Amino acid sequence: MWFDKEAIEAAKFYVSVFGLHSKVNNITQLHNTPSGDVDVVSWSLWDYEFQAISAGPYFKINPSISFMVNFDPSQDKDAKTRIDTIWNKLIDGGTALMPLDKYPFSERYGWVKDRYGVSWQLIYTNPKGEERPLIIPSLLYVTDTCDKAEEATEFYLSIFKNAKRGAVARYPAGMEPNKEGAIMFTDFMLEGQWFAAMDGSARMHDFSFNEAISFMVHCKDQEEIDYFWKKLSADPKAEQCGWCKDKNGVSWQIVPTILEKLISDQDPKKVARVTEAFLKMKKFDIAALEKAYRS
């Protein structure tokens, strides 16, 4: 997540909201970046990993990417009460995009944009269905990507080696302005991580994918970095510091697994050298990062 100045504050807020099995894992400050001195914070909510940066007012988070939170009574005996508790905390200072209520697809569901602009879909899950993780990022295809959810998810499934499709539900006739046959909901797994996607009406929304929320692909070596960069990067102007955009505007960070260790080192001179090195890169060069670290 990209914030102006609120990354640490937001991380601590989310940890307080979700509570059990949630914690701030690491806080690092990078110096002399184009945004000045920036905070990078990583945290986990119910064992799902997040990272955020405070790097200025350049990108604004919007509901094109939200986070589904499954309250599964087969995994949590207090799921029915917990969904209300967490909703009440997230709605404080936020906005309900869909009120917490009963819907045809769930007896308890709500979509909320919190005080920091991050969107969460809270859903009481039917325990008879196939088990899913408790938190799943969800992509909403609207405006210039309207009705591309199926094509886009097939594209991702073709890129990642350990991947599979889950559920698929399509809009029936009579649900205008949504297009008949478009994706009402689908979920899919990439390298052990589940995602969800849906199509929305182009005329009902005024936002689209941007850099404010991106997905990190952790690569063990340069070969993996080269592979995912070639497959995912579709906009040369968006290439910077390991960031790229795919053909639908979704942002990805193609990063070596060693990077977090390098920028979390206790020696500020080493961190400064690594930071200076990667700020000059588009696609990450592991050998150059390690050389900067050792210099």
Q: CA 281, CA 295: separation in Å to the nearest integer?
A: 18
Mean pLDDT of 264-290: 94
> Are 73 and 193 part of one and the same domain?
yes
Last residue of a domain, one of 204, 225, 256: 204
- At which residue do the structure tokens 């996607």 appear? 197
Which value, in Å, is the radius of gyration of the alpha carbons in the chain?
Answer: 20
Task: Give the pLDDT confidence score for residue 79 in this predicted structure.
Answer: 95
d(CA 46, CA 134): 7
What's the confidence (pLDDT) of residue 202?
Answer: 60
CATH of the domain at 40: 3.30.720
Supply the pTM of this predicted model.
Answer: 0.94
- Residue 36 and residue 90: Cα distance in Å, rounded? 30
* Token reading at 133: 């993780």
Q: In this predicted structure, what is the pLDDT of residue 131? A: 84
pLDDT of residue 264: 86
Residue 183 and residue 150 share a domain: yes
150, 185, 204 - which closes a domain:
204
Instruction: For residue 271, give the CATH number of its domain.
Output: 3.10.180.10
pLDDT (0 to 100) of residue 175? 85
Task: Count each helix (H run) and each strand (E run) in the chain, helices first.
Answer: 7, 15
Ranked by mean pLDDT, the top range of 134-138, 172-176, 180-184 is 134-138
Query: Cis link prior to 236 (omega < 30° from 0)?
Result: no
Is 255 found in the same domain as 280? Answer: yes
Q: Do 242 and 265 belong together in one domain?
A: yes
Residue 225: the pLDDT is 98
In angstroms, the CA 70 to CA 135 distance is 6
Q: How many CB atoms lie within 10 A of CB 135?
A: 19
Of the residues 153, 187, 204, which one is the last residue of a structural domain? 204
Three-state DSSP state, 139: strand
- What's residue 203's pLDDT? 64
Regarding whether 241 and 173 lie in a shared domain, the answer is no
Q: What is the pLDDT of residues 222-242, one digit of tens each?
A: 999 999 999 999 999 999 999
With tokens 């510091």, the residue in question is 241
Regarding whether 279 and 199 lie in a shared domain, the answer is: no
Residue 232 shares a structural domain with residue 279: yes
pLDDT digits (tens, 9 = 90+) for 185-212: 999 999 999 999 999 876 678 899 999 9
Tell me, yes or no, whether 82 and 163 share the same domain.
yes
**Residue range 145-161: mean pLDDT, rounded:** 95
Strands 95-103 and 106-113: antiparallel
| C-alpha to C-alpha distance for 169 and 165, rounded to whole angstroms | 12
Window from 54-58, 65-69, 80-84, 179-183 with minimum mean pLDDT = 179-183
Q: Which domain holds residue 266?
A: 213-295
Q: What is the mean pLDDT of the chain?
A: 94
Give percent above pLDDT 70 in the chain: 99
CATH of the domain at 177: 3.30.720.110
DSSP state of 238: G
How many structural domains does the chain have? 3
